[in-house]
């Protein structure tokens, strides 16, 4: 039933997805929120292993962006985070499988992969950015950022696909700011609508859409 609703009503899908299984467009975004509340105290906001609690700890939380952690498979990391069987790396690291859902752990992993892979930092708050994106950008760029919004078919040029991670990684935050402020051949300029911090916020949000 749910499957049939999704393509018909993006709005319904978005509401349902935030409560049930995580659909791809939102995954890294949800994962970031969970990471900030559950992991950053030890592993740090950017996963470097330098959270505020580390000063009081004997064992140091791992740098999740290190080559060692990057080399681990998704399955292995899901087990480590959940703390299943022999996979608890240290007694200090909580067994998250006991307190959060599998879908939450998958979303957290998506954000950990983002921290490992994205060349560019988030300079704005993606929670603020999501609201701006929904108000102004969804019509053309689509709910999930794939360039398939309801206005897309009316334009001679396809709106950019923000889920193309390679493309997004090629563009610096400054380059994205320039495009958003100036607009393009078929994209409006946002310089009179959005403040500098709102532009950074929406950039942070579309960067997360690229890694789902």
Q: How many CA atoms lie within 13 Å of 15's alpha carbon, on the beta-carbon side?
A: 4
Separation between Cα atoms, residue 198 and residue 133, nearest integer Å: 10
- Nearest approach in angstroms of CB 31 to ligand HEC is 9
Separation between Cα atoms, residue 61 and residue 56, nearest integer Å: 11
Q: Which is nearer to ligand HEC, 23 or 137 (CB)?
A: 137
- Nearest approach in angstroms of CB 93 to ligand HEC is 3
- Nearest approach in angstroms of CB 1 to ligand HEC is 32
Q: Which is nearer to ligand HEC, 16 or 131 (CB)?
A: 131
Separation between Cα atoms, residue 150 and residue 163, nearest integer Å: 17
* Phi, psi angles (nearest 5°) of residue 136: -115, -25
Rule CB under 6 A: which residues touch ligand HEC?
Answer: 38-39, 41-43, 53, 59, 61-62, 64, 68-69, 72, 77, 80-81, 89-90, 92-94, 96, 108, 112, 136-137, 139-141, 151, 155, 157, 159-160, 167, 176, 179-180, 184-188, 190, 202
Separation between Cα atoms, residue 109 and residue 69, nearest integer Å: 11
Q: Which is nearer to ligand HEC, 23 or 180 (CB)?
A: 180
Q: Which is nearer to ligand HEC, 184 or 196 (CB)?
A: 184
Q: Which is nearer to ligand HEC, 94 or 106 (CB)?
A: 94
- Nearest approach in angstroms of CB 210 to ligand HEC is 10
Q: How large is the greatest C-alpha to C-alpha distance in the chain, in angstroms?
A: 60
Separation between Cα atoms, residue 79 and residue 85, nearest integer Å: 8
Among 122, 146, 136, 111, smallest CA distance to 34 is for 111
- Nearest approach in angstroms of CB 5 to ligand HEC is 25
């Amino acid at each position: 039933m749910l499957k049939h609703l999704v393509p018909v009503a993006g709005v319904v899908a978005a509401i349902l997805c935030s409560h049930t299984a995580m659909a791809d467009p939102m995954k890294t975004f949800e994962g970031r929120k969970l990471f900030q509340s559950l992991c950053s105290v030890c592993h740090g906001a950017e996963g470097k292993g330098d959270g505020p609690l580390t000063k009081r700890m004997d064992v140091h939380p791992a740098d999740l962006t290190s080559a060692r952690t990057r080399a681990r498979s998704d399955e292995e990391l899901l087990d480590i985070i959940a703390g299943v069987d022999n996979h608890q790396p240290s007694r200090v690291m909580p067994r998250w499988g006991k307190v959060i859902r599998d879908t939450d752990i998958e979303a957290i992993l998506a954000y950990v992969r983002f921290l490992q892979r994205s060349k560019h930092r988030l300079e704005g708050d993606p929670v603020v950015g999501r609201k701006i994106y929904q108000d102004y950008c969804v019509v053309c760029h689509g709910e999930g950022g794939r360039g398939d919004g309801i206005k897309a078919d009316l334009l001679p040029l396809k709106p950019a696909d923000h889920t193309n991670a390679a493309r997004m990684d090629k563009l610096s935050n400054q380059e994205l700011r320039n495009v958003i402020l100036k607009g393009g051949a078929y994209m409006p300029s946002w310089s009179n609508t959005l403040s500098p911090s709102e532009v950074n916020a929406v950039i942070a949000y579309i960067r997360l859409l690229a890694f789902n």
